[in-house]
Amino acid sequence: MPKNMFLLWGVEAGALHDAGLHAALADAGVRRLQLNVDDEPVAVAMRFGEFDEPVRAIVCTWDADPAAVRRALREVASEVHGYAVDERRRLDPPESWDGTRADALANVAILRRPADLEREEWIRRWMVEHTPVAIRTQATFGYVQNVVTAPSPTTRRGSTPWWRSCSRAPGSPTCTRSTAAAATTPSCTAGSAS
């Protein structure tokens, strides 16, 4: 099932729950949707990164037309960048299939391959060396990695990112390298970003 991830800037979290947006996403073929939003419940979470403005939401879709999804999201966000990804579920996170907010922190890291590493070595370090340690040493109960396979033609912000995310119990320590976003979902939902 093809998965696409969209980074959103200039969006209010409430706009992502709008019935009109959900109808437009359904028309684009979205049958499964996950939102990770930077909103009031996670306002105190640590954020850092190299973007001029922080990413305010990450929207994940499966089996939908990415161009149509991007058009729908542009109605509520000032900037939208999309990526086709290869989802790798290392530890299945709890799902919220009824559209309610998950009682967990989705710790999302947007990673870029260092320029001095070949792609294969970067993947090996991330998948073989880092992942088992991260799962064992953090209060992680879900861990999904998404390897970008293709950026959308309209994506302009620097090099292609990689994602990982881990779901953690509320109050547990957070990873350093992340943009914090609460896991929430509208009408249909799914896993985590990586």
Q: Return d(Cα 79, Cα 112) in angstroms, integer.
A: 20
At residue 105, the pLDDT reads: 76
Does residue 194 lie in a domain region? no
At residue 154, the pLDDT reads: 60
Inter-CA distances, 158 with 113, 142, 161, 178, Å: 12, 29, 9, 18
Residue 189: pLDDT band by 50, 70, 90 thresholds?
A: very low
From the number of C-beta atoms within 10 Å of its C-beta (0-12, 13-18, 19+), residue 109 rates as buried
Tokens of 144: 């999904």
Does residue 137 lie in a domain region? yes
Residue 191 has pLDDT above 70, yes or no: no
Q: Return d(Cα 191, Cα 34) in angstroms, integer.
A: 7
Average pLDDT over the chain reads 78
The SS3 of residue 15 is helix
Number of domains forming the structure of the chain: 1
Asked if 16 contacts 174 with a C-beta cutoff of 8 angstroms, the reply is: no
CATH code (residue 129): 3.30.70
Does residue 75 lie in a domain region? yes
At residue 86, the pLDDT reads: 93
Angle between helices 19-27 and 66-74 (to 10 degrees): 160
In the chain, % helix, strand, coil (3-state, to 5) comes to 25, 35, 40
pTM summary value: 0.78
Does residue 189 lie in a domain region? no
Residue 49: pLDDT band by 50, 70, 90 thresholds?
A: confident
Does residue 192 lie in a domain region? no
- Model confidence pLDDT, tens digit, residues 120-163: 999 999 999 999 998 889 888 889 999 999 887 665 544 445 54
Does residue 190 lie in a domain region? no
State the average pLDDT over residues 56-60.
94
At residue 78, the pLDDT reads: 95
- Model confidence pLDDT, tens digit, residues 19-43: 999 999 999 999 999 999 888 888 8
At residue 161, the pLDDT reads: 54
Residue 168 has pLDDT above 80, yes or no: no
The region of weakest confidence among 55-59, 111-115, 184-188 is 184-188
Q: Return d(Cα 136, Cα 131) in angstroms, integer.
A: 9
Q: Return d(Cα 81, Cα 70) in angstroms, integer.
A: 8
Tokens of 100: 């309610």
At residue 129, the pLDDT reads: 94
Asked if 104 contacts 183 with a C-beta cutoff of 8 angstroms, the reply is: yes
Could you tell me the residue range of the domain that residue 73 belongs to?
A: 3-184
Does residue 193 lie in a domain region? no
Q: Return d(Cα 123, Cα 132) in angstroms, integer.
A: 13
